[in-house]
Amino acid sequence: MATEFANFDFWDDSPIAAQLVDDVRTRNRLERSVFPRPRSARLISVTNQKGGVGKTTTVVNLAASLSTEGMKVLVVDLDPQGNASTALSIPHGDARKPSSYDVLVNDLPICACIKQSPKLELLSVIPSTIELASADLHLAGVEDKEFRIKRALDKHLATEGVHYDYVFFDCPPSMGLLVVNALTAANEILVTIQAEYYALEGLALLNDTVRLVKEQYNPSLEITSALVTMYDSRTNLSVEVFSEVKNFFPNQIFNTVIPRNVQVSEAPSHQETVITYDPRSTGSLAYREAALELAKRGVDG
């Protein structure tokens, strides 16, 4: 099966056949690969103040890819829209259910709201609710308002004997207190950039914000990863965006790009990640490759 198309080079003339051949090669490569386990938990905030650039999609699919490779993963949903919670099959929307809002505002311990994803054994989620949208207001005047998530997570890790290989923070499309809480709790930032016109717009602002947070609150914070999403190899625009991002983030850019892919966009409406919804799709393979790149970079530096 592994070689089913591999020798049919003449097929490369047709884009669909070329994609099939490519998918088979990627699957083979992934099957032969070992995902290195980080020595200590990697705390990664997926951040870009722009909306619709693939942050949530990236969080849930990297998290799912890593957990299917045996990594213990926690996703902290800090977006009031709760799309990460939904994609990981955790019901979202009931404000009475304990959530990341309660951790932020009501000092609820993480163990009281953490949920295990029903589809992925090693993946847990701190779900969000729409109440998060008012967290800024409720925290105004609170002394340690920038560190609420960090403190709760530190306590969770220290007192409950839990260990994670990866913790992902899904950020809302803004630069408010929710994002600052993600950036004080994390030590790595993964920026997702949609391959579109104006892709680089706002990256200078993002850099400035990160510098401020680093200076004032979290000296260990770095932008370590930049991932181009919704890439369309048939367009010059996508190719140009990739090379511009490479100039802007020469050390951070992932070689793997995430293609625009129907299965990736369909999966959330089935409360799934594309990794479980359609594991053989091009989108699923791309996210698994990106997860492998993330895992290797953490070890190789």
Ligand X SMILES: Nc1ncnc2c1ncn2[C@@H]1O[C@H](COP(=O)(O)OP(=O)(O)O)[C@@H](O)[C@H]1O
* 15-41: b (≥16 Cβ within 10 Å) or e: eeebebbebbebbeebeeeebeebeeb
Rg (C-alpha) for the chain, rounded Å, is 19
37-56 positions binding ligand X, by CB under 6 A: 51-56
Residue 225 binding: pick among Mg ion, ligand X, none (C-beta 5-8 Å cut-off by kind): none
Residue 283 sits in the site that holds ligand X (CB under 6 A): yes
Binding letters toward ligand X, positions 243-262, x by CB under 6 A: ---------------x-xx-
Q: In the complex with Mg ion, which residue's Cβ is closer, 84 or 203?
A: 84
Look up residue 226 and give its DSSP letter.
E
- C-beta of 42 vs 50, nearer to ligand X: 50
User: Residue 127 binds which entry of Mg ion, ligand X, none, with Cβ cut-offs from 5 to 8 Å by kind?
Assistant: none
Q: Which is nearer to Mg ion, 50 or 55 (CB)?
A: 55
Cα–Cα distance measured from residue 254 to residue 246, given in angstroms and rounded to the nearest whole number: 9
Instruction: Using DSSP bridges, classify how beta strands 123-126 and 166-170 pair: parallel, antiparallel or unpaired.
Output: unpaired
- Give the footprint of Mg ion on residues 63-122 (CB under 5 A): 79
For 130, phi then psi, to 5°, come to: -65, -25
CB nearer to ligand X: give 99 or 261.
261
If binding is defined by CB under 6 A, does position 80 make contact with ligand X? no
Binding residues for ligand X restricted to 168-197, rule: CB under 6 A: 173
Max CA-CA distance within the chain?
A: 67
Q: Give the one entry of ligand X, Mg ion, none that residue 36 binds, where binding means its C-beta sits below a cut-off of 5 to 8 angstroms depending on kind.
A: none
By CB under 6 A, is residue 230 in contact with ligand X? yes
The footprint of ligand X on this chain (CB under 6 A) covers a number of residues equal to 18
Q: Where are the beta strands (DSSP E) in 187-279?
A: 188-194, 222-229
Find, among 211, 188, 169, 209, the residue nearest to 55 by Cα: 169
Among 42, 50, 55, 92, binds Mg ion (CB under 5 A): 55
Q: Which helix (H) or strand (E) is 264 found in, with range?
A: helix 262-266
Cβ count within 10 A of residue 160:
12
End-to-end CA distance of the chain: 35
Residue from 56, 194, 252, 281 touching Mg ion (CB under 5 A): that is: 56
Q: Report the distance separating Cα 68 and Cα 173, nearest Å.
A: 28
Place of tokens 């045996």: 70
Q: Which residue is nearest to Mg ion (CB)?
A: 56
> If binding is defined by CB under 6 A, does position 265 make contact with ligand X?
yes
Stretch that binds Mg ion, among 38-46, 50-58, 129-137, 253-261 (CB under 5 A): 50-58
Count CB neighbours of 255 within 10 A.
9
Residue 276 binds ligand X (CB under 6 A) = no
CB of residue 56 to Mg ion, shortest distance in Å: 3
The footprint of Mg ion (CB under 5 A) covers: 55-56, 79
The footprint of ligand X (CB under 6 A) covers: 51-57, 83, 173, 229-230, 258, 260-261, 264-265, 268, 283
